[in-house]
Structure 1
């Protein structure tokens, strides 16, 4: 059968136009060709050898999708999708990549229409003036030569094909009113896909194939009502997050839907990773957990799970043994959002080697931070390899460092503390963002790797009158770990706590409750803080600092499981532990919605 058999003649009442078969039962044409379909029958006739209806006037069809064309020449969306009452034995048209319609020299384009007195159809030769969209919708066509068939009524809905390959690049939508002006308009194929999303699966786009685009469309379509009235997940906001601050600007027109934005990223943005970042960012606002996981893992191709290079480890003599792999952190960063004292930006990421994948990032009121963080921590485990050593690391504002994150209920179905589930540490947000302190921390860890034992500096309850600046300078030279007898709540202890952070001490301990630490001078009798430091020093003897998260996890498990009448001494133990080598600046974000 001729390769031109997919060209179709469309009749609707007294109107005649063209169309083309794109699936075994679907035909594309202009909406104005079938404008009377509500009262007049639509019939489709293909080339020779294709069985027609019983009366020889073509196959009956119905309009199943419409671009929203409103009747005026300048109205957008002049697209209609017809569904035949049965499949036909014709191979559908095949599409070219969007950019193939243009070139220097220009590409010769053909349109197959059905003007008056050409019952069997005729060809017109044209070319695209430029790839610039007029009104965000059309491309101007101009005649290939000064003679030959012009675009006239009967060409509306005709496929515009590349003369050398026969691949479709668009559809004729209008011709000049003046017959002396031999030009017209073409709706490019990728513009038509805005109005009928299934078409996007048929149009070649860089990087992603038909099955991947179909899956993305299924995941994205229908999510619009779920997000209505929420500016943080509008199509425009998600697009901006996907392309980043230096990516292509928003198009002049507004996106009509989430899929419209996703398709724009697939078809018109050179960065092939932008669509995946869009899907990952959209996932963060989807309440259904399976759909959220599917969006975040799109496109789920095998090469996405290739082994990643491990982090650079410590010197050979101090590398972990075979059963102690490098840490694979799940990072939970909670930072002020800039929207007031009680709103925070929460970002949860999973590190695999030197690669970081953002699992979720949301601006939330304080009362929603815990639930969101716990849910995303659980999902971050999908990013870790089975043999990975998980480490949950909370990066908190300084005033939140005493928060009981280790005691948070792990999930709605599991009442056990998060600190009993996996090694858990906290880090200081301000220090994590300081280049100078991160550099000092790296130097500290290099020295620790070369030392047989780490030095613990004790700060008891009676030290609250100590000068913070002198403490900072002293700790930079003479301490690897600091233990506090009291939590950083009272003013004096808070100042010494900050001094220790500024000294780039990599490991700090304190009890979250107990003595307030506001006693000056000599230690007071029966101080729980002093007893805490004694037990802590005894427990830390001989332990390598790089393995402390694991040892403290075991200690917490024992404390949580203890059935003694008095609380275990480590029940409220807090651990600040920071090794920048475990959380490097990533060399690449995989499907990250931010970065």
Structure 2
């Protein structure tokens, strides 16, 4: 029988000197089985035997990855990865393409039920016609005929194999257990890869040839000692099988009904859980091989990207949500797109976005220093100062202190120097002053760089201000969304607020919210005419607000916003600047303007004040701990 002939990779698992189930070899030193098969591995030794190699000694093994199964029969993630004490001279199991798990084809499993503990026995069955994943995880198995060996205790962890090709399409996890009910469940390989991302690189792409010798395909040996795989024939030499990605598999946090094969419970059908579709993508999707090549390239390059965000950006309105536990790797996300998404256009969009990430120019490392100044509450002459450095996604606070205003500049100089110690040398730095609303006009960019250097701070580093009240989490959420819109723009249009203040502040709020853009003011924040507009811009919230500290004050100059008004001239120059500079680069562009204005008394940007608020440059000030999931081993 093709499903077993020469398949030395079938394994028998013993835990605590008793046969507890089956498994199958996927690399020279890794065996997959069910977690419940080795649930006592923390107390009892685990050994693996390969019955098709009679005479070979058992090999000791240990659990190195776990799908999150926690001992309840209703729990998902019933997968354990065993690492052998030594590599074995056995070709690993050939894995079928990820889109062949469904269909009315004969399947076999090789297990070790009672009475067949030593040599094992074979059960024959088929998958149901409906292309569904029960509970988002299992495919139902039905007996091929009304006689023969049913699935029973001892088949847990057995490879489910196509008879005609000998390829593995999944792993047995559960059986009915009730007399006369000849059904069970398997976990297909692309779901196994969701829990153990290393498997993703071993599963051939959907659409690869399924039958040895099929025209237009080739059965190619891998070059890394991991067995063989069906790969589509392409022009030129056969592609090398590339290294597997590394990284822990995520634990699965929620449960769904199942019955494991270790316990022959009567199969009382529980209330059904959610049933998620797992549509088969079109055979030979044109972007399938391209997507796999891109993922392999990303793995080699160590691309840092969030697979869930990448999928969300590519998914269409009717595509399924990603698994609740997310994706353990970029490989897992790619298989989800190829195997569980119905819209073939999503594959193309996912590949296009991944390609863009790989071909984008490397981003310069960034660092930021946040200087938070506030009313101390202990007197008008005292200021509360807290300085933090942000580097590599972490916040490094510098000790805070309350100081008198007479010492404020010198104290801030010292704390900024301390904060620079936490930034990567050469990183694209930014210094942001978070100020109370009534201090936003302070000329912090003109403060001296140090006690022995009177160069204005804003002529040495990019200096911006922000409203301290905008540090609220809800406001940061809105601002982050606004900056995601601005990221793709080579420039922006300034929403001009003239000195006359004729625009209704309510309409200004609507305009700033409907079209994300910077707000520019011809008058200073001190102006009574435009103060309501300034407050509105702060709370809208506009991601960028620009004004001149020596701008027009219409109450003093009796200005009506005509063309000869200094505020109008400032807005005209600001329009030209902002339309040509991506918003993300404004702080550094304003640095250049300040350097030029420092040498020119009448330069329009001499007293420019830039309120620039991109929360992505700063981690949450109240979140300093990093939480990571790790597999149970």
TM-score (norm 1): 0.49
Structure with more of its chain in helix, by fraction: 1
